[in-house]
Structure 1
Amino acid sequence: MYQTITSPVNYGGIRLKNRIIFAPTSMGVPTEEWLARLQRIAKGGCAMIILGDVPVLPHGFGPSLYSKKGFALYKQAAELVHGEGCLLCAQLHQSDSDFKALVKYLPGFLCKKITADELRAKLNDGAGPLVTNMSRKKIRKITEAFGEAAVLAQKAGFDMIQVHGDRMCGSFSSTLFNHRTDEYGGSAENRARFAVEAVRAVRSRLPEMPIDYKLAVRQTHPAYGRAGVAEEELPVFVPLLEQAGVTSFHVTLADHCNLSDTIPPASHPEFHEEGCFLKFCDQVRALTRCPVCGVGGLTDPDFVEAQLAAGRIDCAAMSRQLIADPDWPNKVAAGQAGTIRRCVRCNRECLGGMMAHRGVHCIYEHKEERKS
Structure 2
Amino acid sequence: MKYETIGSPISYGGLQLKNRIIFAPTSMGLTQDEYFEKIRRIAAGGCAMIIIGDVPVLKGGFGPSLYTRKGFAFYRRLAEIVHKEDCRICAQLHQSDSNLAAMIRYLPGVLTHKISMQDLRVLLNQQVGPYITGMPVRKIRKITEGFGKAAQLARQAGFDMVQVHGDRMCGSFSSSVFNHRTDEYGGSAEHRARFAVECVQAVHRSVPDLPIDYKLAVRQENPHYGNAGVLVEELSVFVPLLEQAGVTSFHVTLANHSNLEDTIPGAKHPQFSAEGCFLPFCDAVRQYTSLPICGVGGLTSPDFVEKQLADGRIDCAAMCRQLIADPDWVNKTLHGQTGDIHRCLRCNRKCLGGIQQHQGVHCIYEGGNRT
Q: TM-score range by the shorter chain?
A: over 0.9
Question: Is the Cα contact below 8 Å between 1:128 and 1:178 reproduced in 2?
Answer: yes
Question: Is the Cα contact below 8 Å between 2:21 and 2:319 reproduced in 1?
Answer: yes
Partner of 2:354: 353
CA distance in 1, matches of 2:174, 2:200: 14
Partner of 1:187: 188
CA distance in 1, matches of 2:86, 2:28: 22
- Report deviation, 1:205: 1.0
- Report deviation, 1:32: 1.0
Partner of 1:33: 34
- Report deviation, 1:107: 2.8
CA distance in 1, matches of 2:114, 2:100: 19
The yes-or-no answer on 1:271 pairing with 2:257 is no
Deviations 1:246-298 (A, max 9, x none): 00000000000000000000000000000000000000011100000000000
In the superposition, the TM-score normalised over structure 2's length comes to 0.98
DSSP 3-state at the match of 1:246: coil
> Superposition RMSD on alpha carbons, in Å?
1.1
Question: Equivalent residues in 2 for 1:1-372 (5 A)?
Answer: 1-368=2-369
DSSP 3-state at the match of 1:32: helix
Question: Is the Cα contact below 8 Å between 1:275 and 1:297 reproduced in 2?
Answer: yes
DSSP 3-state at the match of 2:294: strand
- Report deviation, 1:369: 9.8
User: Amino acid of the residue matched to residue 155 of structure 1?
Assistant: Q
**Aligned-pair identity (%):** 68
CA distance in 1, matches of 2:280, 2:148: 31
CA distance in 2, matches of 1:73, 1:246: 27
Question: Is the Cα contact below 8 Å between 1:102 and 1:122 reproduced in 2?
Answer: no
Question: Is the Cα contact below 8 Å between 2:350 and 2:363 reproduced in 1?
Answer: yes
Deviations 1:159-205 (A, max 9, x none): 00100000100000000100100000000000000000000000011
Question: Is the Cα contact below 8 Å between 2:55 and 2:65 reproduced in 1?
Answer: yes
CA distance in 1, matches of 2:54, 2:110: 25
- Report deviation, 1:368: 4.7
Unpaired runs of 5+ in structure 1?
none
- Report deviation, 1:208: 1.1
In the comparison of the two structures, how many residue pairs are matched?
370
In the superposition, the TM-score normalised over structure 1's length comes to 0.98
CA distance in 2, matches of 1:146, 1:239: 20
CA distance in 1, matches of 2:242, 2:68: 30
User: Amino acid of the residue matched to residue 217 of structure 2?
Assistant: A
- Report deviation, 1:109: 2.8
CA distance in 1, matches of 2:218, 2:367: 35
- Report deviation, 1:221: 1.5
